[in-house]
Amino acid sequence: MNEAGFPLLSLVTWLPLVGGLVILSIRGDEATVAANARWTALWTSLIVLVLSLVLWVKFDPTEPGFQFVESVSWLPEYQVGYKMGVDGISVLFVLLSTVLTPLCILASWESIQTRVREFMLSFLILETMMVGMFCATDFIVFYMFFEAVLIPMYLIIGVWGGPRRVYAAMKFFLYTLTGSVLMLLALLAMWLYAGTTDIQTLMATQFPPAMQKWLFLAFLASFAVKVPMWPVHTWLPDAHVEAPTAGSVILAGVLLKMGGYGFLRFSIPMLPDASAYFAPFMFTMSVVAVIYTSLVALAQEDMKKLIAYSSVAHMGIVTIGMFTFNEQGIHGALFQMLSHGVVSAALFLVVGVVYDRIHSREIARYGGLSDRMPCYALVFMLFTMASVGLPGTAGFVGEFLVIVGAFQVNFWLALLGGSGMILGAAYMLYLYRRVMFGRITRDDLRHILDLSPREWAVFAPLIVLTLWMGIYPSSFTSFWDASVAAMVKHHQAALETTIKIAGMTH
Amino acid sequence: MNWMLALPEIVLACCGLGILVFGVLRKQDSALICTMMTLGAFLIAGLLVLTGLPGIGYHGQFVSDSFSGFNKLLLLSGAALTAILSLDWNRQAGIARFEFPVLMLFAVVGMMVMTSASNLMTLYVGLELQSLALYVLAAFARDDLRSSEAGLKYFVLGGLASGLLLYGVSLVYGFSGTMDFHELRTLLAQPGNASPGVIVGVVFVLVGLAFKISAVPFHMWTPDVYEGAPTPVTVFFATAPKVAAMALMLRVMATTFGPLLASWQSLIVIVSIASMLLGAFAAIGQTNIKRLMAYSSIGHMGYALVGLAVGSPEGIRGVLVYMVIYVFMTAGTFGCIMAMRRKGQPVENISDLSGLGSNDPGLAMALAVFMFSLAGIPLMSGFFAKLYIFLAAVQGGLWTLAVVGVLTSVVGAFYYIRIIKIMYFDAPVEAFDRRPPALSFVVAATGLFTAFFFLFPAPVVDAAQLAAGAIFR
């Protein structure tokens, strides 16, 4: 049995689905159903959050391998099992998902008025799929969760989204599906080569360098779309703009992390030679993403679109950090993913607050809000600063570590990657100035209300997390110290063996 | 001579004759009772198949093994689901005549003979028994112009395909001197015996069978027949005969002509790629949901053929798992299509599904499950179908097929999720009539199978493994 004494990860994974069944069984008129569905979804996700906090308490950071392991035979003759477990890399992503879900449900309390039951159901299914994906330690199980995330997200964008929701939902679905089916082929090839789909065994398997390159490209097709990397990022602005606030939050907060997590879980440890071979390519793409999308963000007229482009830039920093293959870089990448998960989620919620009141995301529509909404101005300022990377907020630590890691690889990489911080400051402060400062010109803005208690409840945990991560980062980095050290060591050892073999044959 | 081997077929045929006589002698409307009796006959036949012993009988003409058993059970379930679905539809369409179940029953007998054939002659007899019954069924709505057209079209093209098949059989017999599957296999194992004549014959046999599973380029009849035939007949076409023809194809190609794999493999690869491409791209522009399903079935046969192209037991296993999943999700989808009925009149346009998500959430959810499954999205059974197929393709080194397969599945996903889009994202139109309970039952049963296959995949996969192993003995 595992550390918790009961199948904790399965419980955290599948409990939302049970909540979904309860929501399905609610009967009554529309208002009752909506109210009950909201409360059921909130309570379910809160219980899941509390359960997942056991992970925070009981997780042993000194152990680099998987913990809370569960294993049930599923297709025994093909060496496929339902296997769950978390290590230092995945444990905080599980927590990120379980923290963001109740906040999203709370944030859509009033903004979702049609088909509430179906919305809450989709959200709980989404939580199951996200958590399951981060917990899976079998490749087939991982793949199933990875793709099944598409179904609820497609519906969330398509049913409760904005005017161009159908286009955005289809684009989101087809882009990500194309990537993942190619990964499926890579998965099958690895399965046949190694005879198992157990992730731990696959990590220890040495794939031939020629095969690694193909596998890497197939993985790249899938994870690059999810991250998203330039030039396959075009689905993201569309999806973000059209999705309802809660959908954008989960999209930015968790779904983008699935790509980064995929690189760290599969590409780098399983395919060390190919990762090293393709690293310059990855750096180039990431630097282009950082600079190009930052410039694009400067020119946006739509708040959500601006934040969406800034997400692409921030994720570019993440991919730079991963492919430096040193401890600082990978630490930075992980930290940046977590902080981006919290900060960009919060920024989308910030946009959601004014969208709920005025029903417009156009920047020019606002101006001078700081007069009427001082608390809102404070919250917005905090997250803007965190997104810019002000020391003392979550955004700083990750970017700083990545740049330190990048310096060890190449001066220009660090310089160009670091320019993202400057450009980030430019577009975020520009956004802030246009929305918050100036004079109020429109009548409806004169009567706009400041944050309600419910909205405070949504923002409070995110504010605490942002400051905590910025001021005392080691309470988070300690989770993955051992795992990252083991990963870097494994990577270097693998590269040395390949060089040795190459030396022997020549 | 062990005549007991064919007991399920014999019993079923006798039941068919009995029901026919009963229907003729009974004066009043007897469609319902005859359908019930047919279902009973299917059940008995299924039990007999389950308890039947393996062996070869009738001087090597007929074989009963786990492969034939697997396929017989599958096609019996497909036929039973169709029979249940046909009840209310036929009554409302005014074609509730007792001949309908009887014809289905005889077609099933033909199919069962096909799966058990171990001689080119048995193969042909089974195929023709099946085809003749199906020709009549396609034209069953006599007063409907489209149905008559579908029947005639199917008959003419089917007759041509049978002719080609028979020609191939004669060539194979002429150049090898035997029609027995086992003897052919031992004969062809010596490279010297594989004369060009035999290979030409094999190609003709392949063409005849490709017609029956509606693989490109022998698919022309499918969209028209699917659209024109009464919907219960379309369900039947989409399920049981596909299983039987695919089983026959697997047995003939993979084992009997298995030694010639190098000669026919490239043909199957081409047919498979063409089917996947056509199934994916031609369906995009369809507005009629039955036509869409016709193209979808062409695409699915393309995926199934990937497994045959590999030619290994793993490939065959993949095809068998695919067929099981395909039958259930197709039957379920057609169940949903049959529920599309307004003021007693069936509607068939995709746009009629608009807003089904709020009009009838249960039906919409079931159809969404089937669509995600047909698209091969995980957790639904359709994903596993493709998983085993592509696993075999990768194992066999057929990378072209695997890559084309996954990419066309993305194109296919486009039109499947477009249906979901129409159901959930578009504004509701007039609601459909109340669903008959039998229809709800079929949709619910197949929907549960499709959605929860992932929990217990092992029994189906193990049985397919056993069946695939049996034909290579």
Q: Tens of pLDDT along B364-416?
A: 889 999 999 998 888 889 998 998 899 889 888 888 888 899 889 888 888 88
A269 and chain B: CB distance < 8 Å anywhere?
Answer: no
ipTM of the complex: 0.82
Stronger pLDDT, A447 or B423, i.e. the higher one: B423
Question: CA end-to-end span of chain B, whole Å?
Answer: 21
Q: Which residues of B touch A192 (CB under 8 A)?
A: 391, 394-395
- Residue A225: name the closest of A290, A282, A176 by CA: A176
pLDDT band at B273, cuts 50/70/90? very high
Residue B320 pLDDT > 90, yes or no? yes
Helix pair B181-189, B145-176: axis angle to 10 deg:
50
Say whether the peptide bond before residue B217 is cis (omega within 30 degrees of 0): yes
Picking from B424, B462, B465, the nearest residue to A159 by CB comes out as: B424
Q: How far is A423 from chain B (nearest CA, A)?
A: 37
Residue B435 pLDDT > 90, yes or no? no
Out of B188-197, B245-254, B405-414, pick the least confident: B188-197
**Three state DSSP letters for A308-354:** HHHHHHHHHHHHHHHCCCCHHHHHHHHHHHHHHHHHHHHHHHHHHHH
- The answer to whether B215 and B277 are in contact (CB under 8 A) is no
Residue A506 pLDDT > 90, yes or no? no
Q: Which residues of B touch A76 (CB under 8 A)?
A: 458
CB contact under 8 A, A189 and B394: yes
Predicted confidence at residue A505, as pLDDT, reads 63
How confident is the model over B156-183, as a mean pLDDT? 91
CB contact under 8 A, B377 and A77: no
Q: B86-123, pLDDT tens digit by residue?
A: 988 888 888 888 889 999 999 999 999 999 998 999 99
CB contact under 8 A, A148 and B379: yes
Q: Which residues of B touch A132 (CB under 8 A)?
A: none
Look over chain B and give the mean of its residue pLDDT values, rounded to a whole number: 89
Quick one: what percent of chain A has pLDDT higher than 70? Answer: 98
- Residues B24-58 as b or e (16 or more Cβ within 10 Å = b): eeeeeebbebbbebbbebbeebbebbeebeeebbb
H or E element at residue B62: strand B62-64
B418 and chain A: CB distance < 8 Å anywhere?
Answer: yes
How far apart CA B427 and CA A19 sit, in angstroms, is 29
How confident is the model over A2-24, as a mean pLDDT? 82
A114 and chain B: CB distance < 8 Å anywhere?
Answer: no
Predicted confidence at residue A419, as pLDDT, reads 87
A191 assigned to some structural domain: yes
A14 and chain B: CB distance < 8 Å anywhere?
Answer: no
Residue B77 pLDDT > 90, yes or no? yes
A181 and chain B: CB distance < 8 Å anywhere?
Answer: yes
Look over chain A and give the mean of its residue pLDDT values, rounded to a whole number: 86
A42 assigned to some structural domain: yes
Q: A337-357, pLDDT tens digit by residue?
A: 999 989 999 998 888 888 888
Predicted confidence at residue B12, as pLDDT, reads 93
How confident is the model over B447-461, as a mean pLDDT? 89
CB contact under 8 A, B402 and A188: yes
CB contact under 8 A, B418 and A170: yes
Give me the amino acid identity at B170.
Answer: S
Picking from B372, B390, B425, the nearest residue to A159 by CB comes out as: B425
How confident is the model over B330-351, as a mean pLDDT? 88
Out of A155-169, B202-216, B293-307, pick the least confident: A155-169
Residue A63 lies in domain: 8-505
Cα of B379 vs its chain's centroid, Å:
23
Q: Which of residues 69-88 of A touch B (CB under 8 A)?
A: 74-77
pLDDT band at A174, cuts 50/70/90? confident
- The answer to whether A124 and A250 are in contact (CB under 8 A) is no
A165 and chain B: CB distance < 8 Å anywhere?
Answer: yes
Predicted confidence at residue B46, as pLDDT, reads 93
How far apart CA A494 and CA B68 sit, in angstroms, is 50
Task: Tell me the C-alpha to C-alpha distance, in Å, between residue A40 and each of A6, A33, A184.
Answer: 24, 10, 36
Query: Strand A67-75 and strand A80-86: pairing?
Result: antiparallel
CB contact under 8 A, B383 and A147: yes
CB contact under 8 A, A74 and B358: no
Number of domains in chain A: 1
Residue B420 pLDDT > 90, yes or no? no
B409 and chain A: CB distance < 8 Å anywhere?
Answer: yes
Q: Which residues of A touch B357 (CB under 8 A)?
A: 118, 159
Cα of B240 vs its chain's centroid, Å:
4
- Identify the closest residue of chain A to B407 by CA–CA distance: A178
- Residues B270-283 as b or e (16 or more Cβ within 10 Å = b): ebbbbbbbbbbbbb
Q: Helix or strand or coil: residue B56? A: strand
Residue A445 pLDDT > 80, yes or no? no
Quick one: what percent of chain B has pLDDT higher than 70? Answer: 100
Q: Which residues of B touch A115 (CB under 8 A)?
A: 358
CB contact under 8 A, B378 and A147: yes
- Residue A272: name the closest of A503, A490, A54, A10 by CA: A490
Predicted confidence at residue B377, as pLDDT, reads 86
CB contact under 8 A, B394 and A75: no
Q: A380-417, pLDDT tens digit by residue?
A: 889 998 888 888 888 888 888 898 888 888 888 888 88
How far apart CA B183 and CA B266 sit, in angstroms, is 25
Q: Helix or strand or coil: residue B1? A: coil
Quote the tokens at residue B226. Answer: 């699917």
How far apart CA B36 and CA B29 sit, in angstroms, is 13
- The answer to whether A301 and A361 are in contact (CB under 8 A) is no
User: Which value, in Å, is the radius of gyration of the alpha carbons in chain B?
Assistant: 21
Q: Which residues of B touch A191 (CB under 8 A)?
A: 391
Q: Which residues of B touch A150 (CB under 8 A)?
A: 377
Q: A294-312, pLDDT tens digit by residue?
A: 998 888 888 888 888 988 8
Predicted confidence at residue A74, as pLDDT, reads 80
A1 assigned to some structural domain: no
B438 and chain A: CB distance < 8 Å anywhere?
Answer: no
- Identify the closest residue of chain A to B417 by CA–CA distance: A170
Q: Which residues of B touch A147 (CB under 8 A)?
A: 377-378, 383
Q: Which residues of A touch B458 (CB under 8 A)?
A: 74-76
Q: Which residues of A touch B414 (CB under 8 A)?
A: 170, 174
pLDDT band at B247, cuts 50/70/90? very high
Cα of A230 vs its chain's centroid, Å:
17
A33 and chain B: CB distance < 8 Å anywhere?
Answer: no
Predicted confidence at residue A2, as pLDDT, reads 66
Please enumerate in sequence order all residues whose Cβ is within 8 A of that of B241, keeping only pairs 6 or more positions apart, or say none.
Answer: B75, B107, B111, B130, B134, B212
Say whether the peptide bond before residue A228 is cis (omega within 30 degrees of 0): yes
- The answer to whether A133 and B398 are in contact (CB under 8 A) is no
DSSP class per residue in A406-465: HHTT-HHHHHHHHHHHHHHHHHHHHHHHHHHSS---SHHHHT-----HHHHHHHHHHHHH
Q: Which residues of A touch B407 (CB under 8 A)?
A: 178, 181
Residue A76 pLDDT > 80, yes or no? no
Picking from A74, A146, A151, the nearest residue to B372 by CB comes out as: A151
Quote the tokens at residue B429. Answer: 């139109």
Q: Which residues of A touch B369 (CB under 8 A)?
A: none
CB contact under 8 A, B421 and A169: yes
Quick one: what percent of chain B has pLDDT higher than 90? Answer: 44
Please enumerate in sequence order all residues whose Cβ is within 8 A of that of B110, keeping only pairs 6 or more positions apart, or say none.
Answer: B126, B127, B128, B129, B130, B131, B132, B133, B244
A148 assigned to some structural domain: yes
Picking from A148, A159, A174, the nearest residue to B410 by CB comes out as: A174
Q: Which residues of A touch B409 (CB under 8 A)?
A: 181
Cα of B271 vs its chain's centroid, Å:
17
pLDDT band at A326, cuts 50/70/90? confident
Picking from B361, B406, B417, the nearest residue to A184 by CB comes out as: B406
- Residues B422-435 as b or e (16 or more Cβ within 10 Å = b): bbbbeeeeeebeeb
- The answer to whether B172 and B120 are in contact (CB under 8 A) is yes
- Identify the closest residue of chain B to A149 by CA–CA distance: B378
How far apart CA A269 and CA A219 sit, in angstroms, is 13
| Residue A359 burial class via C-beta count within 10 angstroms: exposed 0-12, middle 13-18, buried 19 and up | exposed
Q: Helix or strand or coil: residue A188? A: helix
Out of A222-226, A245-249, A358-362, B387-391, pick the least confident: A358-362
Say whether the peptide bond before residue B230 is cis (omega within 30 degrees of 0): no
Neighbours of A288 (CB within 10 A): 15
Q: Which residues of B touch A170 (CB under 8 A)?
A: 414, 417-418, 421
Residue A37 pLDDT > 90, yes or no? no
- Residue B137: name the closest of B151, B157, B156, B158 by CA: B151
Picking from A140, A148, A158, the nearest residue to B377 by CB comes out as: A148
Residue B17 pLDDT > 90, yes or no? yes
Helices (H), B250-312: 261-282, 289-310
CB contact under 8 A, B409 and A169: no
A138 and chain B: CB distance < 8 Å anywhere?
Answer: no
How far apart CA A34 and CA A353 sit, in angstroms, is 21
Q: What are phi and psi of A196, to 5 degrees?
A: -155, 165
CB contact under 8 A, B418 and A182: no
